[in-house]
Amino acid sequence: MSQETALTSEQLWNAALPILAQRINEATYDAFVAGAVAIEYTGDRLRLGVANDFALDWLQRHHAQVIGDCIAEVAQQPVQLQMETLAADAAPPAPPAPVTLPPPETSVARAQPPSDIQAAPLNPKYTFENFVVADCNRFAHAASLQVAKNPGNAYNPLFIHSASGLGKTHLIQAIGHVIANDPALSHYRVVYISAEAFVNHMISCMRDNTIDRFRRSYRSVDCWLVDDIQFIAEIEGPASEEEFFHTFSALYETNRQVVIASDCPPRHLQLMNERLRSRLEMGIVADLRTPDIETRVAILEKKALNEGVHLSRDVLDYVAGKIESNIRVLEGALLKLCAYASLNEVEVSRELAEEIIGDYSTSHTDRRVALQDILDYVASELNCPTEDMVSKKRTQNIAWARQVAIYLARELTDNSLARIGQFFGDRDHSTILHSYNKVQDAIEQDEQILWLINDLRATFE
């Protein structure tokens, strides 16, 4: 954009905001970015006012690069970003300050735990009774049962990982139910929370200056069930990892039970803190695999029974055969059948099942392109050995092939930038974003590249 048609600071910032909303994690965006105010734009420098010192520090340390890049992108020229704290009267309305003072140190007795943790309630259906045990989950189930019977003393931490929809949340909540209902453990404080909620809570406590209280609360937990820990690894900035690590260590060192669910094993988590990774591996690491057809039938039978619906063996076989790799999807198909059966007061026949869930298929997961397929295909199409694509080599051909593959990976899969980066030779998420933008620009400028990408995409669609 030339100087004559220069944007105002407000226009520039307003145009950058939706892009930033995509690139910065939601919690940070809401807490610090959305409320920032563009003060002045001189054509090569933008002064950005943020709510307070904490926001300033946080943004400067973790997000200055991405904000700067984004502004330059919108302005279409280099722009220097200068962040500062807004004068109190110019600041947008601050969130209400907490009225309660943090409790004095002495009141943090375990009998009177502070109660401001935003724990999620346990799903009453996620019990051991409702969990079908089979080869695909036998070890994880046994370990969970031990932990539930003997929290803090059996396996600590217990780390359960699997692909989506295979029972992680079910199992870790089953542990929570047993402990919460054990009369001998009535003083026990069980907290189930997703890693994302933990991080959001942490950020808001930092913003409100109640981080000490936050720490005390989490450190008074007796059994900590943390779901979807991969979130901690995926967001930018080491602060949440640090905080998680300290909470984890405080609990672990005082023999409190920690159970963690993750979509990948500890060694594949994109963690910056190596000590955290090794601690996560210190206890039992158990995985859940896809159930075989008999197990899927057994799971369906159990769910149908719980729903009070009778389904013939033929129908169960059909449904279990159709949906292979995700129990959540399997269950969804069953519920659809049950709803139809009860609404129409009919028995579900095989034909009816085919009609109702004929369009369901494993293809829901099948259709998701694997990173490996993209890598292999681009490697062969662009004549670049796969080893080179995931190496540190940066010769032009190799770098280009790699960028193309990264572009497709971002376009065609649900993987996070961090995951894509890890796959393509342990690169960080900003490198991945850079590669993506490079290809995007090339597509816009060069018709040949547009067609190349178009052909490559078509192969996977």
CB atoms within 10 A of CB 57: 14
Site string for ligand ADP, 305-344 (x = CB under 6 A): ----------------------xx--x-------------
Cβ distance to ligand ADP smaller for residue 151 or 165: 165
**From ligand ADP, Mg ion, none, interface partner of 327 (C-beta below 5 to 8 A by class):** ligand ADP
- Dihedral, CA of residue 397, residue 400, residue 406 and residue 412, to nearest 10: -100
> What single DSSP character describes residue 118?
-
- Dihedral, CA of residue 23, residue 29, residue 35 and residue 36, to nearest 10: -50
Cβ distance to ligand ADP smaller for residue 128 or 460: 128
- Confirm or reject binding of residue 164 to ligand ADP (CB under 6 A): yes
Min separation Cβ 417 and ligand ADP, Å: 21
- Dihedral, CA of residue 211, residue 227, residue 120 and residue 151, to nearest 10: -90
* Site of interaction with Mg ion (CB under 5 A): 168-169
Q: Could you tell me how many residues of this chain bind ligand ADP (CB under 6 A)? A: 17
Interatomic CA distance for residues 418 and 232, integer angstroms: 11
- Confirm or reject binding of residue 301 to ligand ADP (CB under 6 A): no
**From Mg ion, ligand ADP, none, interface partner of 30 (C-beta below 5 to 8 A by class):** none
Interatomic CA distance for residues 171 and 140, integer angstroms: 8
**From ligand ADP, Mg ion, none, interface partner of 102 (C-beta below 5 to 8 A by class):** none
Min separation Cβ 172 and Mg ion, Å: 8
Min separation Cβ 321 and ligand ADP, Å: 17
The residue within the footprint of ligand ADP, chosen from 9, 169, 270, 416 (CB under 6 A), is 169
- Confirm or reject binding of residue 194 to ligand ADP (CB under 6 A): no
Q: Which of residues 115-134 bind ligand ADP (CB under 6 A)?
A: 126, 130-132
Min separation Cβ 22 and ligand ADP, Å: 25
Residue of closest CB approach to ligand ADP: 167
Cβ distance to Mg ion smaller for residue 61 or 328: 328
Residue of closest CB approach to Mg ion: 169
Q: What residues does 284 pair with on adjacent strands?
A: 158
Min separation Cβ 10 and ligand ADP, Å: 43
Q: Mention every residue, 6+ apart, whose C-beta is less than 8 A from residue 71.
A: 12, 13, 16, 46, 79, 81
Q: Which of residues 384-403 bind ligand ADP (CB under 6 A)?
A: none
- Confirm or reject binding of residue 415 to ligand ADP (CB under 6 A): no
Site string for ligand ADP, 11-50 (x = CB under 6 A): ----------------------------------------
Spatial CA neighbour of 204 closest among 83, 116, 82:
116
Asked if residues 16 and 74 have their Cβ atoms less than 8 Å apart, the reply is: yes
Strands 45-50 and 37-41: antiparallel
- Dihedral, CA of residue 234, residue 237, residue 238 and residue 242, to nearest 10: -80
The residue within the footprint of ligand ADP, chosen from 68, 102, 152, 165 (CB under 6 A), is 165
Taking phi over 0 as left and psi of -120 to 50 as alpha, with beta for the rest, 308 belongs to left
Q: Which residues of 265-295 are buried (b: 16+ CB within 10 A; e: fewer)?
A: ebebbbbeeeebbebbeebbbbbbebbeeeb
Structure tokens at 275: 């000590």
Cβ distance to Mg ion smaller for residue 63 or 170: 170
